[in-house]
């Protein structure tokens, strides 16, 4: 499996963030794919996405857009795709969505398709993020990253939750846990069939300031899918934006194909080198057992190992290359010394343990302000 870096640093150095999205395995295609958030000139962003035929024959596709709170499509398109071919959509150019649109989309096909999405700002703040379309809903979704006014950039998270059913509503509850495994806040919503609802972490009653934890989203009634987003509430850091897919299940071993760390050149040469932060959540019913994060260079050599104590169900832990034991000089410039390329595996030791992880890749956005960063997320991939 691969994680795609969709946008390199521009020659003008005006764009430093790099949208990240995961490749799809041969079994990941589905006759129904859901895009939990679609925007047009809304929140200063517009969505672009691509649908690809992942089947062995041509497929017929129906694409429907649903506005927030509506079970009736705002716009519908039908088309065909040849084997391996894709069609690109820019919400900003679809007149039927009106001057602005906030909602979601469903894709139904006569065979297997996959989809990937980019959201980008419509001004010169260069905020951009990417995520994948989801093929199947679940009544429980896990979010390893939940933030409220966190750090000097005041990072906060939001979850776009889409009802996968065409007929049934969903009663949804979000539970936020801190790193000590305490439930600190909850949120609820009634979501109509086909519709979307957005949860803002900082709007949850009782959520602490400077909060960094995890969330579990459950639905009674229809299954759901969810996209997590992180952004700064401080206008000075308008370029900060990430997106990742909420996980419906975990695995005992995960792969992170794109991992970097720099100590020396993060802010003196903005956008040139990056830092990876891994958020790990236990989504099993028992303690995870010891979690081992192994960091490998481009040749597969083990550079360092980070050992994390067992965490409880729903609880979160974090890892970075510099937290690992190993050659500290190599870990301080992980993925850059000896050639470009670094990766990690994340494994739990408990019997039947299940974990999920989100990897945040951060780049400096300023040579003078170390708090000014851009970042993007991708999901670690099960490999067992």
pLDDT given for residue 127 in this prediction: 81
137-248 CATH fold:
Hypothetical Protein Tm1070; Chain: A (2.60.290)
Instruction: Categorize the per-residue pLDDT at 274 as very low, low, confident or very high, splitting at 50, 70 and 90.
Output: very high
pLDDT tier for residue 73 given thresholds of 50, 70 and 90? very high
| Residue 39 vs residues 20, 92, 102, 226, 236: alpha-carbon distances, Å | 19, 8, 5, 15, 23
CB of 379 within 8 A of CB of 356?
yes
* Tens digits of residue pLDDT in 232-245: 988 888 888 899 99
Average pLDDT value for residue range 258-282: 91
Which among 204, 165, 164, 169 is positioned nearest to 184, based on CA atoms?
Answer: 204
Fold matches, 1-135 and 253-382 = yes
Domain limits of the chain?
A: 1-135, 137-248, 253-382
Give the mean pLDDT of the chain: 92
Q: Which position has the higher pLDDT, 52 or 234?
A: 52
Confidence bin at 315 (pLDDT 50/70/90): very high
DSSP characters for 302-371? EEEEEEE----TT-EEEE-GGGSEE-HHHHHTTTTTTSS-EEEEEEE-STT--EEEEEEEEEE--SS-TT
Q: Are 283 and 355 in contact (CB under 8 A)?
A: yes
**With 60 as the cut, is the pLDDT of residue 13 above it?**
no
CA–CA gap between residue 128 and residue 118 (Å, rounded): 7
Q: Higher-confidence residue: 366 or 163?
A: 163
Out of 68-72, 147-151, 246-250, least confident range: 68-72
Is the pLDDT reported for residue 268 higher than 70?
Answer: yes
Cβ-in-10-Å burial (0-12, 13-18, 19+) of 56 comes to: exposed
The predicted structure's pLDDT at residue 259: 96
pLDDT at 372: 87
Q: Which residues pair with 318 in a beta bridge?
A: 279
Q: What is the pLDDT of residue 14?
A: 61
**Using CB atoms within 10 A of its CB, is residue 37 exposed (0-12), middle (13-18) or buried (19+)?**
buried
Residue 37 phi/psi, 5° resolution? Answer: -145, 130
Which residues on neighbouring strands pair with residue 191, listed in sequence order? 170
The CATH homologous superfamily for domain 253-382 is TM1070-like (2.60.290.11)
Of 1-5, 307-311, 335-339, which has the strongest mean pLDDT?
307-311
> What class does CATH assign to 1-135?
mainly beta
| Nearest-angstrom CA–CA distance, 317 and 283 | 12
* Residue that wins the pLDDT comparison between 277 and 236: 277
DSSP string, 241-303: EEEEEPBS--BSEEEES-----SSSSSSSTTTSEEEEEEEEE-SSS----EEEEEEETTS-EE
Q: How far apart are CA 189 and CA 172, in angstroms?
A: 5
Average pLDDT of the residues in 246-272: 91
Residue 7 pLDDT > 60: no
Point out the least confidently predicted range of 91-105, 134-148, 264-278, 339-353. Answer: 264-278
For residue 277, the model assigns a pLDDT of 97
Q: What is the pLDDT of residue 194?
A: 87
Tell me the mean pLDDT in the region 40-52: 93
């Amino acid at each position: 499996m691969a994680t795609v870096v969709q946008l390199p640093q521009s020659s003008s150095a005006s764009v430093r963030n790099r949208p990240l999205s995961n490749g799809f395995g041969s079994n990941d295609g589905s006759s129904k794919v859901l895009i939990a958030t679609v925007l047009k000139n809304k929140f200063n962003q517009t969505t672009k996405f691509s649908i690809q035929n992942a089947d062995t024959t041509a497929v017929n596709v129906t694409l429907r857009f649903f506005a927030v709170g509506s079970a009736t499509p705002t716009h519908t398109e039908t088309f065909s795709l040849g084997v391996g071919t894709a069609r690109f959509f820019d919400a900003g150019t679809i007149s039927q969505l009106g001057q602005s649109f906030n909602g979601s989309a469903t894709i139904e096909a006569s065979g297997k398709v996959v989809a990937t999405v980019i959201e980008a700002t419509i001004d010169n703040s260069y905020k951009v993020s990417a995520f994948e379309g989801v093929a199947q809903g679940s009544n429980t979704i896990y979010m390893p990253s939940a933030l409220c006014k966190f750090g000097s950039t005041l990072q906060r998270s939001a979850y776009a939750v889409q009802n996968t059913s065409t007929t049934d509503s969903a009663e949804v509850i979000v539970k936020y846990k801190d790193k000590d495994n305490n439930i600190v806040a909850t949120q609820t919503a009634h979501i109509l069939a086909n519709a979307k609802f957005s949860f803002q972490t900082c709007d949850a009653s009782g959520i602490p300031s400077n909060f960094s934890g995890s969330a579990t989203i459950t639905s009674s009634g229809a299954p759901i899918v969810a996209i997590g987003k992180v952004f700064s509430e401080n206008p000075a850091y308008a370029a900060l934006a990430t997106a990742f897919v909420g996980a419906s299940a975990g695995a005992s071993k995960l792969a992170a194909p794109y991992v970097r760390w720099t100590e020396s050149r993060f802010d003196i040469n903005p956008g040139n080198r990056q830092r990876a932060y891994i958020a790990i959540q236990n989504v099993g019913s028992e303690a995870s057992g010891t979690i081992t994060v192994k960091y490998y260079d481009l040749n597969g050599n083990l550079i360092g190992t980070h050992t994390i104590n067992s965490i409880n169900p729903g609880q979160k832990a974090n890892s970075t290359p510099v937290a690992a034991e190993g050659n500290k000089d190599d870990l301080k410039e992980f993925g850059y010394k000896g050639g470009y390329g670094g990766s990690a595996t994340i494994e739990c030791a408990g019997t039947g343990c299940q974990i999920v992880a989100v990897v945040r890749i951060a780049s400096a956005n300023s040579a003078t302000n170390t708090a000014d960063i851009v970042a993007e997320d991708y999901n670690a991939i099960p490999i067992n």
